[in-house]
Structure 1
Amino acid sequence: MKKITCSFLSLIIVVILMASCSSSNVISYENSFYKLTLNKKTGSLITIEKKGKNLINTPGSEGPLFTIRFRDASQKGEIHEFNAQQAQDCKTIVKDELITLIYSQFKNVDLKVMVTVSMAKDSPFMHWNLSVDNNTPYTIDHIDFPNLVVTNDLIATGGTGRIFWPAQEGCLIEDVKIRDENGMKFRPIEYPQMGWGGLYPSSVQMQFMAYYNATGGLYLAAHDEQCNPKGIEFHGTDNNGIKMDFRLFAGGAGKGMYKMPYDMVMGVFDGDWYDAAAIYRNWRETSAMPVPPKIKDNKMLPDWYFESPVVITYPVRGHKDMGDMTPNELYPYTNALKIIGKYNKDFNSKIMALLMHWEGSAPWAPPYVWPPYGGEKNYLEFVKGLHEKGNLAGLYCSGIGYTLRSNTDTTYNMYKEYNEKHLEKVMKVAPDGTLATNGVCAGPNAQRLGYDMCPANSFVKEVVLDQISKIASSKTDYIQYFDQNLGGGCYPCYSTTHGHAYGPGLWQNEAMHNIFKGFQPVIEGAGYKLLVGCEAAASEANLSYLLYNDARATINLFTGTPVPAYAFVNHEYVNNFMGNQNGVSAAIDLKKSPMNFLQRLAYAFCAGDMLTVILRGNGDMIWDWGTLWETETPNQDQVKQLVRNLNVWRTGAGKDFLVEGRMLKPLPFEGVTNVPMITKPGGRNINFPSVFTSNWQYGSDRKAQFFVNYLPQEQEIIISTAGLKNVKVFKSASDTQGELAGDKELSLKITPLSTIMITYSK
């Protein structure tokens, strides 16, 4: 009787709540953190208010709450798309702290969609989910959900707004027009879009975005511990809006019930991108998402990882990605040993020589790379010469593409193998069933003709294992085998014969992990601790396998301001290196941004990354990989001094923090000026402070903040020490004691091209 009574009362509550909604066209929920308002007829967002102020752009957010794209594999991937506002019936059920929206009666299709929004009175977050009852003959390609648009009140418009985007380790957007003026314009994350952009887990390594202004912040994230493939993007809309765009790839789910395997989490917060990253990190650390052991506990890491070598990268053939590939002054390999020795002294550091264009096949011509150009003998002498001086050898490769013919060395082609082994069967397939022609760095104007291989095929695993095994026999210390597989990920395949789902899905991660696991015995049996890495920081889906990677924060200069969000979330597990800086000279006006190389070094140091410089044939450091060697070089003495003065902290007094530490939000300070980089071609400012900083914790209570003056003149900053205890100033990396500071305010003079560390407790 009691159960019947409770059920009856619950029904009455639901009816009352439904009736209260029917008296208006909105559904509202409010707690002490936010007020949510939805359109009752469509479910679209109307407002998310914090402190009485709306954080979203209502005209934009009132578009369809979801859009679902289906494909018909039997009709060459024909697209069928439906959205929330096309449903002729939308039922709304409000019960306690759960809103349920049921959409049905889509024209000419048997389809139902249910959206749930779960709230809690004591939480600033709400959890959104979507399920599809699919009685169509089509498979689900992707789901755009939820539709969230914020107002373009960004800094460049005179407003206070900023958007955090998790691409390329983290990017802060203050001006959407920067992206619109160059070759990195927004493109929807769908076939054939590949490469740099909003693909996760790839060039996007994490699953959260944020918008914040003077009123407060809005957090939007996929709390997906399985790391399903997604598009995570932003782009301008009508009505002065910016869409925060999440797209789930459903793994080719077909007829029947499909439920999103995770919640989209939306909520409000105070602060900036650091605070949003802390929300995401807190979730990640309590989730079941796999992570490697922390650096201090990871037995797979070599000793040199803790000695912070400076990476020096250069080609041995040609000058840049394309063009003449005649061997340059740094070939044969041993020609570079004297130059490396000189930089040992200049930087007071170990060096990792990371070679490009060394492949015996052709430059950037995967998957075959071994033996080295010119044969093994001189390369092995080179590796031996490096090791004798305590230095290290590294090699760039090009991932799991397949080269039919090189465009940089047309004498190299693999048509015979391709035809004899019928390798078209292992190449990626487009939605229409033809071979996908959007391979990375492939095409008539790119480095090669060819395709991308689908990693679900055993041939791919066998080739990778073979090549890594051969390189390991040379005692090479680091293999960036998965260059061009950004973040260690792969790109979609729509084959119906490879044994995986039709279209993007979780199978992609599983296939890549199978490849990574395949060469683990080689690493374990190599007789030394070999590391394998990828281009861009490893996405969280692949982090357990790729422990040293080529960071690509500078790609964000095509879009906004790089910020070290990846390091904030992951630095206790992985140290990356600064990377070959490809693209800087295309994104930034070097003459109008004379401090940009020094800024990038300071940024990388503060992100906890190992430093990198790029050489031309005579041994001079150049701006980036891709700069013409004839271009006037950066000030060599200033670069050497800054690298030396930064790297010594990674091996001295700052080592615990910069190598193994957990990043914290920095303590505020005053005294900096703006030193912008100027974009090409738009001439817009990307703003940077004249002093870079980062704050770290090591162990339970040791904290340290670093302040980098990358300018060639002294700077003075002021830090409030109110609320801090045991504040000490370290002006030298060899100082083990520090100087005790005052109680309320600390004034620090930072000499040119140098760093100061303060330690403190709370």
Structure 2
Amino acid sequence: MIALFKDFSLSVDFEHGVISSLIIGEKNRVVSPSALFRIRLRNKEGEAILLSSTDASSWEKTEDGAIYSGFSADVKVRVSLKNEDGEAAWRISVTSANDGHFVEWVDFPSITLPCLEENNAEGTGGKILFPYNEGALVSNMDIREETGLRYTEPEYPSMGSYAMFPNMVCSQMLAYIWNDVGLYIGAHDEKRGVKDINFFKSENGVTLRFRLFCGTNFGEKFETDYPIIFSVTDGRWESAAERYRKWFESALPAGAVKITENKNLPEWYADSPLVVSYPIRGTHDKDEMKPNKLYPYTNALPVLDGIKRAVDSRLLVLLMHWEGTAPWAPPYVLPPFGDVENFDLFKQTLHKNNDMLGVYCSGFGYTAQSNLVDSYNKEKEYEENNLERGMCADTDGKVKISKICTGQRSGYDICPASEVGREILKEAYTPLLETDIDYAQILDQNHGGGQYFCYSKEHGHPPAPGAWMTENMQELLSEWNLVADKTLLGCESAAAEPYIGNLLYSDNRFELNYRLGIPVPLYSYIYHEYVRNFMGNQVSCPFVIEADTLRHRLAYSFCAGDSMTLVLTENGELASYWGQKDFSCFPNKEKALVFIKNLTRAYKDGAKKYLYAGRMIASPEVKCEKISFAKRLSEYSVEISALAWTAWEAEDRSRALIIANPEDRDICCEVDGKEITVSALSAKIIEL
């Protein structure tokens, strides 16, 4: 079957169950046929049964696709391909003949395209736009595969780094982008069900794959009540982002409200405060947890006052290792560590100075034993109260030790869809939500705000991951929002799409994308009119500390429309990133503070109408010099532009290009062929 669409055609060999060609611009972009679908079933013993379109012994052509049968399990699979407004719209259903198994996941559709441009000797490769940690462009698979963010099959117990939506993957799309054209693949799923959205090396190229987690019960039919769209864009990542944003705005998730219309935001949200984060015990995540020089809490006030005066900005002070239980030992956090009266005085002083207080929490883990504070142990309580009933379980019903933050703790993943799990979380977090702190990163380690895999047959949810997880999280977060009132909640990595109405200020993780390729502000492009975030503590930033990259990351965040962030050492120096253990080098504090002051002034003097709640648009062509930074534990370096920039449309329809120069020298660039000079350590607003 050859199907014609706007600007491309698809050849699908339904008889053999493969996509055989994709013609764009008279070129076949498919390098090898890919199985149209793969399916994993689970029987009542929890055993996996794998099927593929190429396994079917029987097939039947239909008006818009095919029906497959004759598998090792008694199922029928229907695939359809339709032309909808010039785009290819794929759908699939899996029907079981009995209740002996359930459909766990479906890989559909998969397509194999050329090796990426830096791995492609023939010059036919491109880049992949990956909605991972706010957005990345990946052009070299070897770089990705050397990191902990390499392609990994998601399994129970969950890992935070999985390329899961709605978790570290914020949006239901991928794009393969050549110099002249791009292939957009988007799951236009209004329920925002759970998906592994990923790509991996195959024999002759790179396979792009959507794994749809079905959330079905035994014997229940699975079908997509939404299309997976193939569409052709131009050769800019912004065009793929534009296509997805068009769908997103036609089907907003529950609770998503434009910032300019959101009555639940605190007044400080519009001021884009500088986030200042530090621990009050130890110096990094796995350090000995003795109080440091910033404890008691008020010890930090002179350092914070100096920063505030230097940058002329409100501060949001975000504490780590403040928990009275143990650092990173969820879910219990209160009372604060040590001197509670001093903690309250610290909070009151910040509020008196028109500043804010926030705290890190650790999401849905249940800590049986802290690895940082030996005395913190909950094993007896866990056993006596049979709390295993509220934990995420495997397909055989057994609860396994969590894989999350194993250096800091040993424990389990709470299932917030279970009655017992929900009660544990209510007991742990309601007292915090009822305080007058300004911000709680309530779901650190639950990237994007999503929950983790649970296959329990006893919790009242389906025995497999699926859309029920998204619905459950939306309900839980909405309950928390009501209790928290004006206290903003957030998570690690920006809030994934279903939760942007609930988690309105989160700890970005774009710096991790330097491990994959280069970050791009995909998240801001799609969602910025609805949610703002902050730069984040930059944990695991891959650059060597000898390279002072902090100002470049500040520039990136500013241009993305997010609040800037500093991480302090106990001596009041600036850390390169959270988790740093080698303090032989520090970022230049004086230059960083001057840069932040100048960017803050630019925000107040003209950029605010764009960066606060504006709509990101594709920027004009900007040419400037490149600089290269070495990475830790890698033979690769990262080449980035010396300047950072983005383009915006404000609510009044005015448009501007915003350029930030983190270097300590003036830099010349070309904007659509016109030479522009951006002064050192400053920002420039160019009306468009």
> TM-score band, normalised by the shorter chain?
over 0.9
2:49 is matched with: 80
Change (3 A) 1:603 1:413: same
Partner of 1:676, secondary structure, is strand
Partner of 2:497, secondary structure, is coil
Does the alignment pair 1:590 with 2:545? yes
**What one-letter code is carried by the residue in structure 1 that aligns with 2:47?**
E
1:143 is matched with: 106
Q: Are the equivalent residues in 1 in contact too, given 2:363–2:442 (CA < 8 A)?
A: yes
**What one-letter code is carried by the residue in structure 2 that aligns with 1:55?**
R
Return the offset for 1:156: 5.4
1:696 is matched with: 648
1:427 is matched with: 391
Q: 1:543 aligns with which of 500, 507, 514?
A: 500
Over the aligned positions, Cα root-mean-square deviation in angstroms equals 1.7
Return the offset for 1:100: 1.2
2:266 is matched with: 302
CA distance in 2, matches of 1:45, 1:709: 46
Return the offset for 1:154: 1.4
CA distance in 2, matches of 1:519, 1:50: 48
2:535 is matched with: 578
Q: 2:552 aligns with which of 579, 591, 599?
A: 599
CA distance in 1, matches of 2:652, 2:207: 40
Does the alignment pair 1:662 with 2:615? yes
1:510 is matched with: 471
Change (3 A) 1:686 1:253: farther
* 1:615-634 map, 5 Å: 615-628=568-581, 630-634=583-587
Q: Between Structure 1 and Structure 2, how many residues are aligned?
A: 685
Higher relative contact order (CA closer than 8 Å, sequence separation 6+): 2
CA distance in 2, matches of 1:50, 1:757: 38
Q: Are the equivalent residues in 2 in contact too, given 1:170–1:563 (CA < 8 A)?
A: yes
**What one-letter code is carried by the residue in structure 1 that aligns with 2:405?**
C
Does the alignment pair 1:30 with 2:4? yes
CA distance in 2, matches of 1:431, 1:676: 47
CA distance in 2, matches of 1:547, 1:280: 21
Does the alignment pair 1:312 with 2:265? no
Moved more, 512-521 or 623-632: 512-521
Change (3 A) 1:70 1:205: same
CA distance in 1, matches of 2:582, 2:170: 33
1:8 is matched with: none
2:199 is matched with: 234
1:487 is matched with: 448
CA distance in 2, matches of 1:226, 1:676: 42
Deviations 1:495-519 (A, max 9, x none): 1101010020122122222322322
Return the offset for 1:474: 4.3
Return the offset for 1:689: 1.0
Structure 1 stretches of 4+ moved >6 Å: none
Does the alignment pair 1:250 with 2:221? no
**What one-letter code is carried by the residue in structure 1 that aligns with 2:131?**
P
CA distance in 1, matches of 2:59, 2:144: 38
CA distance in 2, matches of 1:153, 1:506: 32
2:18 is matched with: 44
* 1:119-268 map, 5 Å: 119-120=83-84, 123=86, 125-136=87-98, 137-155=100-118, 157=120, 159=123, 161-239=126-204, 241-268=205-232
**What one-letter code is carried by the residue in structure 2 that aligns with 1:607?**
A
Q: Are the equivalent residues in 1 in contact too, given 2:78–2:94 (CA < 8 A)?
A: yes
CA distance in 2, matches of 1:533, 1:714: 37
- TM-score between both structures, scaled by the size of structure 1: 0.87
Partner of 1:113, secondary structure, is strand
Partner of 1:384, secondary structure, is helix
Q: Are the equivalent residues in 1 in contact too, given 2:415–2:422 (CA < 8 A)?
A: no
**What one-letter code is carried by the residue in structure 2 that aligns with 1:757?**
I
Partner of 1:621, secondary structure, is coil
Partner of 2:606, secondary structure, is coil
Return the offset for 1:189: 2.1
**What one-letter code is carried by the residue in structure 1 that aligns with 2:484?**
I
1:372 is matched with: 336
Deviations 1:586-642 (A, max 9, x none): x23333xx2421211111111111000100001000100011153310111221121
Return the offset for 1:193: 4.3
| Overall identity of the aligned pairs, in % | 35
Q: 1:475 aligns with which of 413, 420, 436?
A: 436
Return the offset for 1:179: 1.4
1:441 is matched with: 405
Change (3 A) 1:32 1:385: closer
1:736 is matched with: none
Moved more, 503-512 or 406-415: 503-512
* 1:341-380 map, 5 Å: 341-380=305-344
1:68 is matched with: 39
Deviations 1:258-299 (A, max 9, x none): 212321111211132100000000011112533522111111
CA distance in 1, matches of 2:534, 2:89: 36
CA distance in 2, matches of 1:637, 1:328: 23
CA distance in 2, matches of 1:455, 1:567: 29
CA distance in 1, matches of 2:483, 2:3: 56
CA distance in 2, matches of 1:87, 1:536: 41
* 1:712-723 map, 5 Å: 712-720=664-672
CA distance in 1, matches of 2:217, 2:207: 26
Partner of 1:758, secondary structure, is strand
**What one-letter code is carried by the residue in structure 1 that aligns with 2:638?**
I
1:275 is matched with: 239
Partner of 1:45, secondary structure, is strand
Change (3 A) 1:512 1:375: farther
Deviations 1:121-166 (A, max 9, x none): x61x100011112124111110001111110141454645111111
Larger radius of gyration: 1
CA distance in 1, matches of 2:126, 2:345: 56
Does the alignment pair 1:749 with 2:665? no
Partner of 2:641, secondary structure, is coil
CA distance in 1, matches of 2:521, 2:555: 12
Moved more, 253-262 or 163-172: 253-262
**What one-letter code is carried by the residue in structure 2 that aligns with 1:611?**
M
Partner of 2:144, secondary structure, is helix
Q: Are the equivalent residues in 2 in contact too, given 1:360–1:375 (CA < 8 A)?
A: no
Partner of 2:431, secondary structure, is helix
Change (3 A) 1:397 1:102: same
**What one-letter code is carried by the residue in structure 2 that aligns with 1:534?**
C
Deviations 1:6-30 (A, max 9, x none): xxxxxxxxxxxxxxxxxxxxx2122
Q: Are the equivalent residues in 1 in contact too, given 2:430–2:483 (CA < 8 A)?
A: yes
CA distance in 2, matches of 1:679, 1:317: 28
Return the offset for 1:566: 0.6
Deviations 1:381-412 (A, max 9, x none): 10011111111100001012111110000111
Change (3 A) 1:31 1:222: closer
CA distance in 2, matches of 1:649, 1:405: 48
Q: 1:451 aligns with which of 412, 423, 434?
A: 412
Q: Which runs of 5+ in 2 are unaligned?
A: none
